A and B are shown apart, each in its own frame.
Chain A
Amino acid sequence: GESVGLHLPTLSVQEGDNSIINCAYSNSASDYFIWYKQESGKGPQFIIDIRSNMDKRQGQRVTVLLNKTVKHLSLQIAATQPGDSAVYFCAETRSGTYKYIFGTGTRLKVLA
């Protein structure tokens, strides 16, 4: 399928546990960040975003944390479900530009 492939870092979690996926971003001028989910055979799908004037944002079962001091993003998924199994990657950009910088991703495996 159209996914990144076999050599990504993998996070394995038990169904029902919380998952934390991390991302180090590269550009200190970036002020907008997105987490994407990519299932096998599909294109990336928007999960949640956050602007640099925030350090936390919550969605449905997902929370994104932003630490600008160390240029770090994390995605927390509560009560992980089998349908959460996918590759997750972050993207950063600076407002007013078209250019996103995408991370290479982490594969999340949910164990039954």
Chain B
Amino acid sequence: DAGITQSPRYKITETGRQVTLMCHQTWSHSYMFWYRQDLGHGLRLIYYSAAADITDKGEVPDGYVVSRSKTENFPLTLESATRSQTSVYFCASSERGTSGDNEQFFGPGTRLTVL
């Protein structure tokens, strides 16, 4: 039972390049989330998805694009990477987006470095 996986685990890229971070969950959870984690900040929501083909912006969406063609996958794309996007990225999923009844299950993270 893999749960929620992310790939790659580590990525180094250059400014201006396109990068896609993958997230896959095996629970058929409806909701999926992308966060970034930086020194001095708590996890910040980039985008979330309530179901296949339904996505919406979070707190820090600029410079990122998401898609959700299948329930189990939620890729995050940096269309033109910038140094400020150097971060650790976490994907999470939950059965329902509403809080109180469901925790968010997090993937192991992707450490992205933009040179």
Chain A residues at the B interface, C-beta cutoff of 8 Å: 2-7, 31-32, 34, 41-46, 49, 51, 89, 91, 93-105
Chain B residues at the A interface, C-beta cutoff of 8 Å: 4, 9, 31, 33, 35, 37, 39-45, 48, 50, 58-59, 88, 90, 92, 97-100, 103-111
Given contacts A96-B99, A103-B42, 8 further A-B pairs with CB under 8 A are A2-B37, A3-B88, A43-B92, A43-B106, A46-B103, A93-B99, A99-B59, A104-B42
| Nearest chain A CB to B85 CB, angstrom units | 15
Q: Is the CB of A102 within 8 A of B43?
A: yes
Q: Is the CB of B39 within 8 A of A98?
A: no
Residue from A2, A5, A105 within 8 A of B90 (CB atoms): A2
The A interface, classified by DSSP as helix, strand, loop or mixed, is loop
Q: Is the CB of B99 within 8 A of A97?
A: yes
A2-B108, A2-B111, A42-B109 known; A32 vs B37 contact (CB < 8 Å): no
A43-B109, A44-B106 known; A94 vs B43 contact (CB < 8 Å): no
Q: Is the CB of A42 within 8 A of B108?
A: yes
For the complex, give the distance between the alpha carbons of A105 and B38 in Å: 11
For the complex, give the distance between the alpha carbons of A103 and B40 in Å: 9
Output the residue of A7, A43, A44, A104 with the most chain B CB within 10 A. Answer: A43
| Nearest chain B CB to A4 CB, angstrom units | 6
A2-B88, A43-B106, A44-B106 known; A100 vs B45 contact (CB < 8 Å): yes
Q: Is the CB of B42 within 8 A of A105?
A: yes
Q: Is the CB of A95 within 8 A of B45?
A: no
Q: Is the CB of A102 within 8 A of B42?
A: yes
Q: Is the CB of B45 within 8 A of A99?
A: yes
A41-B108, A43-B107, A43-B109 known; A100 vs B99 contact (CB < 8 Å): yes
